[in-house]
């Protein structure tokens, strides 16, 4: 194999792949990246048997071929080369990098041992816009659990409905449900995709505007951006919680407030809240039509913020984990948000007024005097 490509293009692709390559693989070949040169393209692939990613970049292919080399070493080496064309040559199990005044050799492994990515070509595909998927992930992924003992909660639950996709994530303390409007031609069974896999997909989609293809069966999902990249992931097994029954249907209190004002105030009181337990108290003051936010850090200090709001229902004092509230508010793009709740210990719902349909449930924290 002999191929020439620009250093900056190669390095940017490798930075995406290096996050996926496992550091402690079950087999040495899985720590490697597969280089495959053909048809004026160089493809780069990493795969840990659960999560795989393949990207393509235009290149001058002098001799087609394949080789694998340490993903970590190759990425670190290429990232430090000057921004000019690099010639990559594979000779038996040697990978050679040449550029201007530099020459490097690395030990590789033949490509025959590298496992093939699932393609699911026999499964019907679903066309999605990058915007639909990117917005859905941004509005829900943050709420997934990081506790591996609750494995199914470490994923994002995706339901396919006639009018679009529904994304749901929960860690047991909060729940985000985002709806993306798009015609779905066929009825597919819901799937739960590891959040880790989807965060890598989110990075791939960060600058994408074109459509992509999705395929899934009972154990795998494949996302393909034609000519750019492909991501495959094993699905999570197990019954996802019936989250719809957690969402209250009626509310005794409703608050409309400017999102930017609320975020800024919460970030200020969060400085004190973080010193103890991240708890912020919120008083819904119906008479004054304002929210009163406060936090205390014993022996350090206390703080209070007053924010104008439109409040219906009786006044109420409630407490939340300030981080959870901020996480939800920060993904909402609307100028105003609505907070709906019944009492100090029942679920509260935050929704943006306008923009993507998003329902964010947060459980209050019981205040003990």
Mean pLDDT of 237-252: 94
For the domain 126-245, what is the CATH code?
3.10.150.10
140 within 8 A of 215, measured Cβ to Cβ = no
- The crossing angle, in degrees rounded to 10, of helices 259-273 and 322-331 is 150
d(CA 323, CA 266): 9
d(CA 347, CA 369): 21
CATH architecture assigned to 248-362: Roll (3.10)
pTM for this entry: 0.92
Instruction: Retrieve residue 368's tokens.
Output: 């003990």
Mean pLDDT of 26-48: 95
pLDDT tens digits, 49-93: 999 999 999 999 999 999 999 999 999 999 999 999 999 999 989
Higher pLDDT, 199 or 185: 199
Mean pLDDT of 340-356: 93
d(CA 322, CA 61): 54
CATH architecture assigned to 2-113: Roll (3.10)
Q: What is the mean pLDDT of the chain?
A: 94
Beta carbons within 10 angstroms of residue 60's beta carbon: 13
Instruction: Retrieve residue 154's tokens.
Output: 């470490």
Q: Provide long-range contacts, Cβ within 8 A and 24+ apart, for 178-181.
A: 178/135, 178/136, 178/139, 178/140, 178/356, 178/357, 178/358, 178/359, 179/356, 179/357, 179/358, 180/132, 180/133, 180/135, 180/136, 180/356, 181/132, 181/357
51 within 8 A of 197, measured Cβ to Cβ = yes
pLDDT at 15 over 80: yes
Identify the band that residue 369 occupies on the pLDDT scale cut at 50, 70 and 90.
Answer: low
Instruction: Retrieve residue 41's tokens.
Output: 């393209």
pLDDT at 186 over 70: no
Domain residue spans in the chain? 2-113, 126-245, 248-362
Identify the band that residue 235 occupies on the pLDDT scale cut at 50, 70 and 90.
Answer: very high
CB under 8 Å to 213, separation ≥6 — which residues? 125, 126, 127, 128, 222, 223, 224, 226
pLDDT at 325 over 80: yes
Three-class SS state of 245: helix
d(CA 230, CA 50): 14
Instruction: Retrieve residue 330's tokens.
Output: 């920060």
Angle among Cα 38, 40, 42 to the nearest 5 degrees reads 60
pLDDT at 355 over 80: no
* DSSP assigned state of 101: T
282 within 8 A of 291, measured Cβ to Cβ = yes
Mean pLDDT of 247-273: 97
Higher pLDDT, 333 or 36: 36
Mean pLDDT of 157-166: 89
Q: Pick from 366, 360, 369: which is nearest to 169 by CA?
A: 360
Three-class SS state of 242: coil
pLDDT tens digits, 162-179: 888 999 999 999 999 999
CA distances from 70 to 85, 199, 251, 284, 292 (A): 21, 23, 57, 57, 55
Angle among Cα 220, 222, 227 to the nearest 5 degrees reads 160
pLDDT at 195 over 90: yes
CA atoms within 13 A of residue 180's CA, in its CB half-sphere: 22
pLDDT at 367 over 80: no
pLDDT tens digits, 110-153: 999 999 999 899 988 899 988 889 999 999 999 999 998 899 99
Please tell me the least confidently modeled range out of 36-40, 186-190, 281-285.
186-190
């Amino acid at each position: 194999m002999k191929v020439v490509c620009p250093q900056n293009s190669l390095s940017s692709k490798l930075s995406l792949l290096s996050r996926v390559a496992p550091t402690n693989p079950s087999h040495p070949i899985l720590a490697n990246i597969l280089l495959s040169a053909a048809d004026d393209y160089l493809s780069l692939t990493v795969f840990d048997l659960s999560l795989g990613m393949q990207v393509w970049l235009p290149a001058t292919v002098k001799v087609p071929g394949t080789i694998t080399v340490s993903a970590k070493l190759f990425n670190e080496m290429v990232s430090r080369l000057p921004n000019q064309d690099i010639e990559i040559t594979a000779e038996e199990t040697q990978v050679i990098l040449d550029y201007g005044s530099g020459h490097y050799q690395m030990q590789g492994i033949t490509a025959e041992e590298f496992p093939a990515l699932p393609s699911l070509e026999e499964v019907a595909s679903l066309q999605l816009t990058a915007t639909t998927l990117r917005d859905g992930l941004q509005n829900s992924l943050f709420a997934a659990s990081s506790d591996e003992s609750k494995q199914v909660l470490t994923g994002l639950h995706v339901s396919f409905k006639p009018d679009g996709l529904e994304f749901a994530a929960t860690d047991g303390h909060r729940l985000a449900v985002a709806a993306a409007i798009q015609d779905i031609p066929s009825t597919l069974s819901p799937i739960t995709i590891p959040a880790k896999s989807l965060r890598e997909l989110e990075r791939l989609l960060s600058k994408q505007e074109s459509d992509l293809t999705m395929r899934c069966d009972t154990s795998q999902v494949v996302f393909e951006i034609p000519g750019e990249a492909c991501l495959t992931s094993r699905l999570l097994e197990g019954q996802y919680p019936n989250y719809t029954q957690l969402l209250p249907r009626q509310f005794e209190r409703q608050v409309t407030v400017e999102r930017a004002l609320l975020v800024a105030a919460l970030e200020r009181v969060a400085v004190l809240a973080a010193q103890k337990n991240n708890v912020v108290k919120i008083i819904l003051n119906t008479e004054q039509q304002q929210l009163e936010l406060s936090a205390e850090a014993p022996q350090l200090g206390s703080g209070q913020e007053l924010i104008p709001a439109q409040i219906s229902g009786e006044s109420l004092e409630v407490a939340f984990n300030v981080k959870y509230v901020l996480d939800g508010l920060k993904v909402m793009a609307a100028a105003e948000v609505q907070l709906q709740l019944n009492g100090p210990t029942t679920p509260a719902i935050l929704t943006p007024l306008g923009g993507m349909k998003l329902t964010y449930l947060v459980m209050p924290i019981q205040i003990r005097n």
